[in-house]
A and B are shown apart, each in its own frame.
Chain A
Amino acid sequence: MEILEETTGEKLLLLGNEAITRGALEAGIDVATTYPGTPSSEIADTFSMIAGEATKKNKNPRFYFEYSTNEKVALEVAAAASICGLRSLTCMKHVGLNVASDAFMTYVYIGCKGGHIIVSADDPGCHSSQNEQDNRYYAIFSGAPMLEPANPQEAKEMTRLGFDISEELKLPILLRTTTRLNHIRGPVEIKKLKEPRRKGYFEKNPMLVTTPAVARVRHSELLKTLKKAEELSEKSQFNYVLNFGKPDHWGIVTSGVSFNYVKEIVEDLKLNIKILKLGMTHPLPKKMCKKFIKACKNIIVVEELEPILEDQFKVMAHDIGSNVKIFGKSTGHFSRLYEYNPDIIADAFSKIFNIKNPFNKPKGSEITLPSRPPILCPGCPHRATYYAAKKAKPKDVIYPTDIGCYTLGRYKPLEMADLLLCMGSNAGTACGLAIATEQKIISFMGDSTFFHAAIPAIIDAAHHNHDVVITILDNRTTAMTGHQPHPGTDLDGMGRKAKRILVEDVVKGCGINQVEIVDPNKIKETTEAFKRALEFKGPAVIVSKSPCIILENRNKIKRGEDIFIYEIDQEKCKKCKICIAQFGCPAFYYGKDENIFIDIQQCNGCGNCATICPFDAIAPREVTK
């Protein structure tokens, strides 16, 4: 396995996320935990793959790894291990830290013993997220020291050395990444793998119980530790100045992936300038920053999202009585929105320096292109559930949705996603909608989301007898993030046998009496179940069970089974368009003369189109995929 390469000095092409995992292995990681979420998922998936291979060979993996029920649990599990002296890593997407924040904020008060890296994968531009919150604020908010890598090499080294910083300060470290760090590949020079400690010991200490009296003491201790952290930041190899040409009184302050674009553009434009590249951004190395301010008359701050460095540099300039002019978001040269790219930075620099932008303005084609948004895969069982629910013909129905593939049910022709806040919000908002309106409510969530965050809301529905239909789309995986296991699967993240928790058992345990289990591929029966649920006064839950077609087909190929793809008998087809215009499987398309065809590249062979066709015009072909 390449990620476990032992040849020191070898260069591997690693994804930023893989580099983080490698860094943890070079630091002797003992415990790694997560809840999967793009763009963080491959960090944990790499741990899972390593552990899974070891399990297959009946060997002990180097470390313990788990896909936890949610990010809060992931953080608590790893924090306890770190308190016992083990080295731990917890990774999650940015909004995952909101879920874990209750534990996180107080954890920083009591601190850790073994090093603990908490990875927050932010998503400027919302590639795969419901917001683009800037989690650097969490470092300032909590007091946790923060590292921000710019490329995979730095991500690996920051993770490796972050454990030392964490142990020196006895504080967890926030490793703040962004999509273009997580999902870029770059060369990474590897170092030796370190043996883990394997077992820790819990030393009892009253200061670990955060009663108000203890919390007051710990807060004061935290502020003292932050002074020490600032000294480490001054000496950190991740904070440095780079000179280009013959720098005069212009400087650039930057961090994270913005540095990559800034450096190339400074070189392309042959600017005479110095760059303060900050990698340890909380606490800032104030002496170093102030020295930089003093050496400049003008500073450009380049950072994605919020003006966090910019505001701190203004404060520091004020503190030393400097009149330095700071260009950034407040001067309108940079945006607080979305991710940056070379064009955005070149455009800002060309305005600031009054020079020509070296890059072309994008020339738009006059041809209008059809959009191609992400969609539910051909053969996805969620489509069958949606279709069946719609066939129950409820009038004026609201469809609260959730985080996962089924969010894609919002597109035509289904249009069955009306309200979304966060993980688990379908059930909570369903309850509120039932109180506020006379409208019918059918909410949707996945099985992993159910375990993650929806259980308290379902208890709320049961306890208050809210008149809602809550649907759990149980496809036995966490599909959107890359098919990770969850408490409802019978293998864990290390490939070991695990207790499978049944969704319907939990729902019944929450006090819901009207629970039906359906196979969505039996569309008529599923529709009938939705009708019964809608008629029921009070909370009704439908558990729609069918495995993710992508995973199922992968397994079929592994088992050597055939996947039959479907075709339309043009003689029998009456062009009623139910398959294409109502069911909306993306494998269907119009050919010449409005004839309908199934694209062999896309069909996944679920066969639901054959079920819904009123004219028996669709059947499996002879050929297999």
Chain B
Amino acid sequence: MKSKTSIVLTGIGGQGVITASNILGKAAVKAGFNVYVSEIHGMAQRGGTVDCTVRIGDVTGALIANGAADVILSTEPIETLRYIKYSNKNTKIITDITPVIPFTVSAGMEDYPDLDKIFEELKKYGLLYKIDAVKIAKEAGSILTKNTVMLGALAGIDILPFKSQILLETILENIPKRYKEINKKAFEGGLKAIKNH
């Protein structure tokens, strides 16, 4: 087992990226590991791009160096590419396939690149896993479980130094009772999507 596991979580403010990072950190503590999580709060959360990092094991810092991520877990395709500097050829890149159009594009100032081109580009940088997290989340019962789908997908690539059951338990411990069932479905949906990839 590697003594350090470094995960970059990216997406857009409001998509639950920070919550997912926090839960991943809590799961690591629950499993008895040392962990550091870095978050972005404040202005950057207002619909802007967000990058969080989680580092598990023999680490003292929360930030990840260029090319040193084991996983990039992203809730939006261009946000995956935005943080690609963290990848190396062995990095597992898990991305949701549904674009969220930035207002810079809506307002006609910039262009959203062709999706297939983005995915082709991402394949150059690491091992790409595309998942339809929006669809899986809706099937589970709410679009708001998208971040749980992503954590399920993360559990599916067998890179965490602890059992995926611990991650699921941690998610369920940290949400109100009435959302537990749909989050369980979302997690399992994400996990299955990766296993069938």
Contact = CB atoms under 8 A, between A and B. Distances in A.
B1 interface: no
A359 B67 contact: yes
B175 interface: no
B78 A586 contact: no
A39 B43 CA distance: 10
Contacts of A264: 59-61
B45 A374 contact: yes
Contacts of A12: 29
Interface string B123-165: 0010000000010000000010000000000000000000000
Contacts of A371: 102, 104, 110
Interface in A28-46: 38-39, 41-42
B169 to A, nearest CB: 15
Contacts of B171: none
A180 B55 CA distance: 14
A580 B106 contact: yes
A581 B105 CA distance: 11
Nearest to A126: B43
B42 A39 contact: yes
Contacts of A590: 101, 105-106, 108
B181 interface: no
A144 B173 CA distance: 43
25 contacts: A13-B28, A13-B37, A38-B41, A127-B42, A183-B41, A184-B36, A185-B36, A186-B35, A187-B29, A263-B61, A264-B61, A343-B66, A360-B66, A360-B67, A363-B125, A368-B113, A371-B110, A372-B48, A372-B49, A372-B104, A374-B44, A405-B46, A412-B107, A580-B107, A589-B106
A375 B46 contact: yes
Contact of B12 (A11, A360, A372, A413): A372
A55 interface: no
Contacts, number: 184
A180 B62 contact: yes
B41 A370 contact: no
Nearest to B113: A367
Nearest to A378: B47
B44 A185 contact: no
A241 interface: no
A599 interface: yes
Interface of B: 12-13, 22, 25-26, 28-29, 34-49, 59-68, 78-79, 81-82, 84-85, 88, 100-113, 117-118, 121, 125, 134, 143
A42 B82 CA distance: 28
A345 B125 CA distance: 24
A481 interface: yes
A342 B46 contact: no
A371 B25 CA distance: 29
The 5 closest A-B pairs by CB, nearest first: A38-B42, A360-B67, A128-B42, A260-B61, A374-B48
Q: Which of B12, B25, B42, B78 has the most CB of A within 10 A?
A: B42
A32 B43 CA distance: 25
B58 to A, nearest CB: 9
Contacts of A187: 29, 34-35
B35 A13 contact: yes
A597 to B, nearest CB: 9
A362 B66 contact: yes
A414 to B, nearest CB: 10
A183 B26 contact: no
Nearest to B114: A367
A12 B40 CA distance: 20
Contacts of A412: 104, 107, 109
A183 B47 contact: no
B144 to A, nearest CB: 9
Given A368-B113, A372-B79, A580-B106, 16 more contacts: A127-B40, A151-B36, A180-B38, A185-B22, A263-B60, A264-B61, A359-B66, A367-B113, A370-B104, A372-B47, A372-B49, A372-B104, A375-B47, A375-B48, A480-B43, A602-B100
A374 B47 contact: yes
A373 B45 CA distance: 10
Contacts of B48: 372-375
A360 B89 CA distance: 11
Contacts of B34: 187
Interface string A325-358: 0000000000000000111001000000000001
Contacts of A373: 48, 104
Interface of A: 11-13, 15, 38-39, 41-42, 127-128, 151, 180, 183-187, 257, 259-261, 263-264, 341-343, 346, 358-377, 405, 408, 411-413, 480-482, 580-581, 584, 586, 588-590, 599-602
B65 A370 contact: no
Contact of A363 (B59, B61, B63, B85): B85
B72 to A, nearest CB: 13
Contact of A185 (B25, B49, B85, B112): B25
Contacts of B105: 370, 589-590
A600 B144 CA distance: 12
A15 B19 CA distance: 12
A11 B45 CA distance: 28
A560 to B, nearest CB: 12
B39 to A, nearest CB: 5
A128 B103 CA distance: 20
Contact of B41 (A41, A405, A599, A602): A41
A450 B100 CA distance: 35
Contacts of B110: 368, 370-371
A581 B106 CA distance: 8
B68 A359 contact: yes
Contact of B102 (A11, A260, A372, A481): A372
B81 A365 contact: yes
A525 B1 CA distance: 66
A586 B106 contact: yes
Contacts of B108: 581, 590
Given A360-B88, A581-B108, A128 B62 contact: no
Nearest to A371: B104
A128 B40 CA distance: 10
A584 B82 CA distance: 24
A186 B54 CA distance: 10
A586 B26 contact: no
Nearest to A590: B106
B100 A599 contact: yes
Contacts of A365: 81, 84, 121
A369 B104 CA distance: 11
A11 B29 contact: yes
A186 B35 CA distance: 6
Nearest to A588: B106
A377 B38 contact: no
A452 B137 CA distance: 43
Contacts of B35: 13, 185-187
